[in-house]
A and B are shown apart, each in its own frame.
Chain A
Amino acid sequence: MGSKRTSRRELLKGGAAVAGGLTLGDIASLQAQAHDHPPTPGSQNDSPMILGSKELVEYGQRSRYVTSVRIQHPPGGRPSPDLFGKVFHVASPLQDSVGVITPSSLHYVATTRGSYMPDIDPKLHTLTIHGLVDQPLTLTMDDLKRFPSVTRLHFIECAGNRHTPRQTTVQETHGMTSCAEWTGVLLSTLLKECGLKGSATWFVAEGAEEIKGASSMPITKAMDDSLIAYGMNGEALRPQQGFPVRLIPPGFEGIFHTKYLRRIKIVDEYYMNYNDFGHLRPDPKELALSEQIGPKSVITYPSGGQQLPGRGFYEISGLAWSGGGAIKTVEISTDGGKKWNLAELKGTPQRMAHVRFGYQWTWDGNATEILSRATDEIGQVQALREQIAQWWNVPVERNYRVPGLDNSVMPWKIAKDGSVTNGLA
């Protein structure tokens, strides 16, 4: 307190000195002499000012030092955007992620069959529910927002989210999953409003993009927890995520999360849409693995391409999720899978949502392999590739392709020099 009063007096003195024709440097040295000690350090301004702009005021932006971006998936695949401005698959930078919410700008994007992003005027967009209902219903976006809403965290994962020996970073191996807070109306609310007929067993959801992507889903999923979402992370959906409205059938493969949702038809048979044709398999076991996503986890730090500066303490961090419900436990191995230890879950795991896990680890500087495995609330356990191959009774080759969506354990190798690489390579 006392020194503050002193400095105020100095300021007054300084003001007088300026009036008397002294420079600021003169004042500083006078002050130093007067008190016989230099100005207190610590409050000097080391960084330039970020100049406010209209854009920064209106919609904000991150620091220019934060450069984490999405990348085309798979690397070397079809470029996004292509010559015609179309965006195909882009992966989220999981290696830089913290917490569980993927920022809307960094949420992974997948489009099917070379589809484009429609520039939909929400005032003209409607959603119609028809088929095996007592009363078909057409809703404007304003209508939709009048219904009781829910807000829930849910991940979406693309069926193409596979880890292979050729990939190097976690963005390449696992970047086709993301988690956002979705706001909208439960599909069950709307179906009850229409009155579902007893013969209803499936529903078809259809988007308004150029190929009008449509998928068949069980009516039990519609009535359980499917969400007609118009909000994402506190604002309207982005066009890349289906503006103005999309379907979220939590825990189902990404392709079922119909964007630009314009029509839901209630039917009594699997409708064999083009997207459904893509799911055709000869083996019912493999087919069953291509609808609901299994329990899965991945270590995002340390992960491929990163470098540990030296031996000592680290918090191993990563994400876990399951299409079967909330994550119950995550285990970490830091010795190549010999011993498994419980990780700490950060916050309460939500159903069909990413949960962040952490594990405190002191690296002794020796080469090792780190892995994570998740167990969900219905008891499904994430398996090793070796266990999956054994179940299918096939040899585990280097390029073994796990049937259905690949939820196998991901190993990261840590070398003596602290470099982290793909454990499958």
Chain B
Amino acid sequence: MTLPVKKILGLVLGLGSLVLLPFCGFDGLSPAGHITLGIFVFAAIFWITEPIPIYVTSLSVIFFQILLLSDQSLFLESLIRLSGGEYAAPKYQDFYGTLAHPILILFLGGFSLAKAAEKHALDRNLTRILLKPFGTSPVRVALGVMLVTGILSAFMSNTATTAMMMTVALPIVAKVPASDPFRRLVGLSIPVGANIGGIATPIGTPPNAVAIAALAKHGTMVPFSTWMMIATPLVLSALFVSWLGMCKMFKPELERFELNIEGTFSTSPKAIGCYIIFACTVGLWVTEKLHGIPSAVVAFLPMVMLPALGILDKQDIRSHAWEVLWLVAGGISLGISLKNTGLAEWMIGQVSFEAFPPFMLVLLFALIGFAVGNLISHTVSATILVPIAIAMLAPDVGAGPAATIIPIAVIGIIVSFAMILPISTPPNAIALSTGLIESKDLAKVGWLVGIVGITLTLLFGLFIWPILL
């Protein structure tokens, strides 16, 4: 097997940074800060160039933090001595604890629900019912496909939603003549719906978790309902505007189209159990503000009840996307040391930001996030940017939640709008592999979604969220 140049370069630069940066002797940076800088740069390079899978890089971040920075550090004594006794090494359990961070437990709850919904065709049946009101006008059918994909993707993974919608829609759309742009309109509505829809709830897509976990670490809790309150109107507007643009780009030729999906709701006891648990969990999540039970606590309801009733078995539990949780955990763990060793503060001190008004900074982060998000994993983009952004932009807790949440939510959300390239997101890759669309269609729509997404997110952040929060 030959390693591509990019990977070899990444391997050398990444490991080089890890080993050399701790000895660089930067002014004003603590010894532990130097080590953290090494780990941070190593992780960023490895995440970007992927010599090893991104979730393994995350695990190695946790490993290096424990080996070098925790109370079990191999160099604990010298670390304390060199910093003049000022370094308070975190317990190694704190780093391991990120693997079970409440936001990841929330995701596990979501995984359990999604798996159960899949098993009992709840996702397929919901699609069937929800698409009905959209009638037979081709452009409205496309809007329906986009909205339904968005709604499902808010609670299931973007990838799983895309796969389900593709398998449902493809055999039906395939009957339309290949020359009709309607095929491409529908083929694009699905990845667009999935990518944008993921923004709507905390569990919709991992970058949301990155933003919420960083805010929690900063002392600002974002309840499930609060996230939905700010994100859902944005998602709906972005879907609607994107749909308008896409209908102009791919004007359907046929006049009438019926998207009839066959199926019936299963009424087996297990299926009914699945519906009830799904409804209860989602109900409790969206009403978090009313009853005050944290969403991560509610998440244990499906995790316990679904296997207890035999709706999920151990095979299903093994098939959860554990590596996604590990990917996010590595970022959260890195955040501990960024703050604890003073590295975040030091990095910000290196650049003079006084000249920039906060809005310009948010805009800058948003544009970087969008650019990077197109090239590498959305989660990784958020993981690299959010800790820097939070140190720079989030004021002291005293300034109130709105001032803290808005800039971070903007950055965490904008990466999800990055979908220009086939590699930008797995839903893009799936949509392309069906042959229904081509890369150039995706690029056109990707730019549209990007511009719509960035503009709307900034507008919401400036004018609407301050009122809601």
Interaction A to B: no
A-side residues, CB < 8 A to B, are none
